[in-house]
A and B are shown apart, each in its own frame.
Chain A
Amino acid sequence: MLDILFYVFSAITLITAVLMVLSPNAVNGAMCMIVAFLGTAALFVLLEAYFLAILQVLVYAGAVMVLFLFIIMLLDVEKGEGGNEYKDKFTLAAAAVGFLLAVILICSAFSGAHLPEPTLNPVTENPTVFDAGIPFTTSAKSFGYSLFTKYMLPFQVTGFLLLAAMIGVIVVSKKHEVVEESDHS
C-alpha cells in the first residue's frame, strides 16, 4: 500500500514540476508548483518526517507560493510580451540535450541494484533519553532538543538571518523618489 502511495506521489510531484517548467503562463506554473510542493510533503509523510511535512505545507505551499502569486499578479508580466517566452532555439536544444543526459545519468546511477540499499529500521515515537547522537524519531520533541543543544549556534544565526532579510526587504522595496523629494524641499 505504501509502495503504491510512493509511486503515486512521486509521479504527481515530477509531472507537476515538468508542467511548471513548461507552462507559458506564470500563474499556471505557480499553481503546478503548489501541487509539486504538496507531493513532496506527502513523500515526507511516507518517510515519517511528519513535522517537516507540516512545515513544508505551511511555509512552502502556503507562504512562499502566496508571495510568488502575489508578485506575479502585481507585476502582470503577461501583457504585451508576445510568444517569445523561451530562449532562442540553440539554447533550447542544448538545454533539452543536457536535461536528457542528466536524466539518463540519474536513472542509470540510482535505479540499478549496484548501490548498497540500507535497511529501513522502525522509528521510536517518543524518546525519553538521548544518549549518543540523536536518533530519528517522529516526535517534534527531538527537533526542539536538537535545536537547543547540538544546533544552538546555527539556530541563532538563522534568527539573525531572518532579521537581516526583513530589513533588507524593507530597504530594497522602498521607493527612492520620496527621499529625493524630501531632500529638495
Chain B
Amino acid sequence: MTVGLNAFILVAGLLFAVGLLGVLLRQNTLVIYMSLELMLNAVNLALVAFSRYNGTMDGNLFVFFIITVAAAEVAVGLAIIVALFRRRQSVMVDQLNALSR
C-alpha cells in the first residue's frame, strides 16, 4: 500500500471536524451524542494509523481501551438522556435551559 500516514491522519482529522460540526450544529441530544462517538472514532483511526506506521502495538492497545470506555460511556449517557426525557419530556438542548431562567 503506497498510501502514507498523512493520508490516514487527514481522514481522521476530517472525521473529527465533522463530529465537532455535529456537536455545534444540532439540537437533538441523541445526535450530539452520536457526533461525540464519531469524534472518538476519528481518534481511534489516528491511533491505529500511528501504531501501524510506528511498528509498535501500543496504539492498538489504546484503541482497545478507548472502545471499552466508549461502550460504558454510551450506556451511562443514554441512561441519563432517558432520565432527562422522563423529567422534561424533551431532549432538545434549547428547551433544557432551567439554569438560565
Residues of A within 8 A of B (CB): 2-3, 6, 10, 13-14, 17-18, 20-21, 26, 29-30, 33, 36-37, 40, 43-44, 46-49, 51-52, 55-56, 59-60, 63-64, 67-68, 71-72, 74-75, 77, 81, 84-87, 91-92, 94-96, 98-99, 102-103, 106-107, 109-111, 115, 117-118, 120-121, 133-137, 142-143, 146-147, 150-151, 154, 158, 161-162, 165-166, 168-169, 172-173, 175
Q: Which one of A48, A98, A121 contacts B24 once the chains associate, using CB atoms below 8 Å? A: A98
The reply to whether the CB of B57 lies closer than 8 angstroms to some CB of chain A is yes
Which of B10, B18, B68, B73 is the most central at the interface, judged by chain A CB atoms within 10 Å of its CB? B18
Quick check: B5 and A87 within 8 Å, CB to CB?
A: no
Residue numbers in B under 8 Å from A68 (CB-CB) = 30, 33-34, 74, 78
Quick check: B3 and A3 within 8 Å, CB to CB?
A: yes
Determine how close the nearest CB of chain A comes to the CB of B93; give it in whole angstroms: 8
Beta-carbon contacts under 8 Å, B44-61 to A: 44-45, 48-49, 51-58, 60-61
Quick check: B6 and A56 within 8 Å, CB to CB?
A: no
Quick check: B76 and A136 within 8 Å, CB to CB?
A: no
Residue numbers in A under 8 Å from B28 (CB-CB) = 26, 77, 85
Beta-carbon contacts under 8 Å, B20-67 to A: 20-22, 24-28, 30-31, 33-35, 37-38, 41, 44-45, 48-49, 51-58, 60-61, 63-65, 67
Residue numbers in B under 8 Å from A37 (CB-CB) = 41
When C-beta atoms are compared, the residue in chain A nearest to B29 turns out to be: A77
Quick check: A47 and B8 within 8 Å, CB to CB?
A: yes
Quick check: A95 and B25 within 8 Å, CB to CB?
A: yes
Quick check: B31 and A136 within 8 Å, CB to CB?
A: no
When C-beta atoms are compared, the residue in chain A nearest to B63 turns out to be: A52
The reply to whether the CB of B82 lies closer than 8 angstroms to some CB of chain A is yes
Chain B, residues 65-86, CB within 8 Å of chain A (1/0): the string is 1011111111110111111011
The 30 sampled A-B contact pairs (Cβ below 8 Å) are A3-B1, A21-B18, A26-B30, A33-B37, A36-B15, A43-B11, A47-B48, A47-B49, A49-B48, A49-B63, A55-B67, A56-B44, A64-B37, A75-B82, A77-B30, A85-B27, A91-B24, A94-B24, A102-B17, A103-B14, A106-B10, A106-B17, A110-B9, A111-B6, A120-B1, A121-B55, A135-B55, A142-B57, A151-B61, A161-B69
Quick check: A6 and B7 within 8 Å, CB to CB?
A: yes
Residue numbers in B under 8 Å from A21 (CB-CB) = 18-19, 21-22, 25-26, 31, 35
